[in-house]
Amino acid sequence: MDGNPRGQEHTVKKTRVICLGNETMRDDGAAIHVARALRERVPEQEREFDIVESAVAGYDLLELMVDWERIIFVEAVKLADREAGDIVRLDPMKDAKQLRLCALREASIPEVMAVGPKLGHAMPDELVLLGLQGEDLCTFGEQLSPAVAAAVPRITDEVLAELGARP
């Protein structure tokens, strides 16, 4: 057996873009808007990457990460000394504890990455997080704040640049 608990062959795929957020919580849904913009800009038949919209965190991310070489997370963030609409590139292995990627009482990305192989899963070799600084991540509502809405095309461009940056 090759370490796969189901005894099936692993097919490792290239790149998955995981857009995390809750679109009913104002700016927390910014990444969902990015996922939709990516789908509009790159038709499915031309896409060499996968796009997922999700609101999960912690160990629930494991299922989304298995069998991909590279994961690009897109996430609304709330960091000190940043303005709403700012875009940041972070290392999820180092910076995840300050983000929603690690919700309270949930596993961090490093913990998820460590448990995957123990369960026989092929985990990504590369993780990137593109964060969009939110203004209001906690109020119910589907409308993004103006600064965040204006930044969605820019972070979409950043995702596309990240996708093209790898040979």
* Residue-wise pLDDT tens digits, 62-85: 999 999 999 999 999 988 889 999
Residue 40 lies in a domain: yes
Provide the whole-model pTM: 0.86
User: Where are the alpha helices (H) located in the chain, listed in sequence order?
Assistant: 30-41, 62-65, 92-95, 109-118, 146-164
3-state secondary structure at position 84:
coil
Amino acid 95 reads: D
Domain count for the chain: 1
Asked whether residue 2 is domain-assigned, the answer is: no
* Per-residue confidence band for 4, with pLDDT thresholds at 50, 70 and 90: very low
Mean pLDDT score across all residues of the chain:
86
What span, in angstroms and rounded, lies between the C-alpha atoms of 15 and 125?
10
Q: Is 1 within the bounds of a domain? A: no
Check residue 59 and give its pLDDT: 87
pLDDT (tens digit, 9 = 90+) per residue, 26-42? 999 999 999 999 999 99
**Residue 151 placed within a domain:** yes
Highest mean pLDDT among 59-63, 99-103, 105-109: 59-63
Is position 5 within any domain? no
Query: Does residue 32 lie in a domain region?
Result: yes
Q: What is the CATH number of the domain that holds 42?
A: 3.40.50.1450
Residue 111 tokens read as 């913990």
The Cα–Cα gap between 144 and 148 comes to: 6
Residue 158 domain-assigned (yes or no): yes
Cα–Cα distance measured from residue 119 to residue 121, given in angstroms and rounded to the nearest whole number:
6
* Higher local confidence (pLDDT), 166 or 27: 27
CB under 8 Å to 82, separation ≥6 — which residues?
88, 133
Query: Has residue 3 been placed in a domain?
Result: no
